[in-house]
Structure 1
Amino acid sequence: MTEDGRPGRGGGPGGVQSLHRALDVLEALSAAGGTASLSDLAAACRLPLPTLHRLAATLAGRGYLRQLPDRRYCLGSRLVPLGGAAHALLGERALPVLGRLAELTGESANLAVLTQGSAEYVAQATGSHAMRIFTEVGNRVALHCTGVGKALLASVPAAQTRRLIEAAALTARTPTTITDPAALHAEIALIRTRGYALDEGEMEIGVRCVAVGIPGALPMAVSVSGPASRMSDELVGTAVSALRAASADLAARLS
């Protein structure tokens, strides 16, 4: 990927150009939300339309893409088991770090990844005060109203942040949900400055979350979440320090 979040030109040093280009197509389609026209993909990948057509036809023939009735392409079902296996491995490698966070704070510690315009929880360690909330493994949540979601928006390149916000519905889940794009951009700028994101009951009333992005090629975030009655400012401060250390640890483990 380039610095602005676009797929890079295929054919890096020592690589196979056609493979680079095929991966660029998959990354561009994922960044577009999973569905796009050939012309949009050609522009995103900076490839001639005939070349893009051949790549798409090959990927569709293997089940990694699927052509829709309106002639646009979407991600194919052959990617599902690959993604599931990758997420399971991520979760397995992250659990020791999440376990330490949960033990320190007494609350749930979570790992989430950016998946087709949403945040998907792929691992969790429950604390001594575990409660059933929306952070269960496998759940996908909106980016604009969750701690991990806003941390993900702040961790990707600015151009990708703009595209993700433009494509989002910004639905109000609670009275504190940010639904104005300008206000959300301002919130993301603040998160980039201070280094962590907060969810102040924006996804679920009475739940508070603090999250930090994880550096690396795959957008990921780690968080601690629990009831607002227990997630005091003091605990949030403790969690921020621990999350920053956990982010560096996870970046090394998951790279």
Structure 2
Amino acid sequence: MADKPSGGVQSVERVFELLELITDAGGEVTLSELSNSTDLPLPTIHRLLRTLVALGYIRQLPNRRYALGPRLIRLGEAANKQLGSLARPQLKSLVDRLGETANMGVLDSDMVIYVAQVPSLHSMRMFTEVGKRGYMHATGMGKAILAQLDDDTVRGIVGRQGMPTPTPKSIGDVDTLLEDLKLIRQRGYSIDEEEQEVGVRCFAMAIPDAPTPAAISVSGPVSRVDQAFADKAVPLLREAARAISDELKQG
């Protein structure tokens, strides 16, 4: 098929295909890796990369690898804010009905970034706040997102980021993580059992059909966030996740 004129729909599709391939690879690739991941001709890939480098959306590193560029940061931050604003009414409803802090996070550069939060009325300082990043394997939302991905992708993420253990209860090896993800897929939600912060338990659920992997959660001290809390929270999380998914589709 002949190329459409510069600026046509096909060119836009190709640009975003390359950006997504680089993102899926962890934010950094070689030209040959890109070529092996797409049917685009090599000269086309090279031409598009040159344009993106000139615009600042891609960087060429000294080792000749291509990485996501700084101009994408502003776009991502704005998109995350919009996503957080969309989810906020559902998070507020969770807090009103459950009394504990509700969060939303998305997968960003192999970590989970918190894009929205409605805090509990209880005075308790926790790790989570908007803009904060967490390791995928050590957070409820991170594990809920990982459970939506295949095992090879999970291995790639934790291989690039490592698996530090913030608490004695954190998961520190990939095989144990993969076993936990199997359980999460079976029951439909994840549990952070004091894996990010001692004394804090979190229940989280992925947003179905989200354009970027995302999840919501409720968290609080283990003294209040117990099995009785879970019995009430899980159906409400599922309801909120579905409502956010429906709003994203309408947008």
Superposition TM-score, scaled by structure 2 size: 0.91
Residue 188 (structure 2) pairs with residue 200 (structure 1): no
CA shift for structure 1 position 58: 1.0
1:251 corresponds in structure 2 to 245
Which of 220, 223, 239 does residue 233 from structure 2 map onto? 239
Corresponding residue of 2:166: 173
Aligned to 2:73: 80
Alignment match of 1:189 (pick from 178, 182, 193): 182
1:130 Cα deviation from its structure 2 partner: 4.5
For these two proteins, the number of residue pairs brought into alignment is 243
Counterpart in 1 of 2:129? 136
Note if contact 1:105-1:127 (Cα within 8 Å) is conserved in structure 2. Answer: no
Deviation at 1:165, TM superposition (A): 3.4
Q: Trace 1:7-18 onto structure 2 (pairs within 5 A).
A: 16-18=9-11
Aligned counterparts of 1:178 and 1:48: Cα–Cα separation in 2: 42
Three-state SS of the structure 2 residue aligned to 1:245 is helix
- Quote the residue 1:5 is aligned against: none
Answer with 45-54 or 108-117: which moved more: 45-54
The Cα shift of 1:169 comes to: 0.6
Deviation for aligned residue 1:77: 1.3
- Aligned residue among 49, 53, 57 for 1:60: 53
Which residue of structure 2 aligns with residue 4 of structure 1? Answer: none
Q: Select between 98-107 and 163-172 the one with higher mean Cα deviation.
A: 163-172
Bigger Cα displacement from structure 2, 129-138 vs 184-193: 129-138
Distance 1:226 1:91 in 2: 20
**CA separation in 2, counterparts of 1:203 and 1:49?**
44
Quote how far apart the aligned CAs of 1:46 are. 3.8
Instruction: Give the structure 1 partner of residue 112 of structure 2.
Output: 119
CA distance in 1, matches of 2:64, 2:220: 45
CA-to-aligned-CA distance 1:191-242 (integer Å, 9 cap, x gap): 0110000000111111110100001221100000111122111112211111
Aligned CA RMSD, in angstroms, stands at 1.8
Aligned residue identity for 2:223 = S
Q: Which runs of 5+ in 2 are unaligned?
A: none
What fraction of aligned residue pairs are identical, expressed as a percent? 46
User: How much has 1:17 moved relative to structure 2?
Assistant: 2.1
Query: In 2 relative to 1, CA 130–250 (structure 1 residues): closer, same or farther, beyond 3 Å?
Result: farther
Structure 1: gaps (5+ residues): 1-10
Take 2:216 and 2:64, find their aligned partners in 1: how far apart are those partners? 38
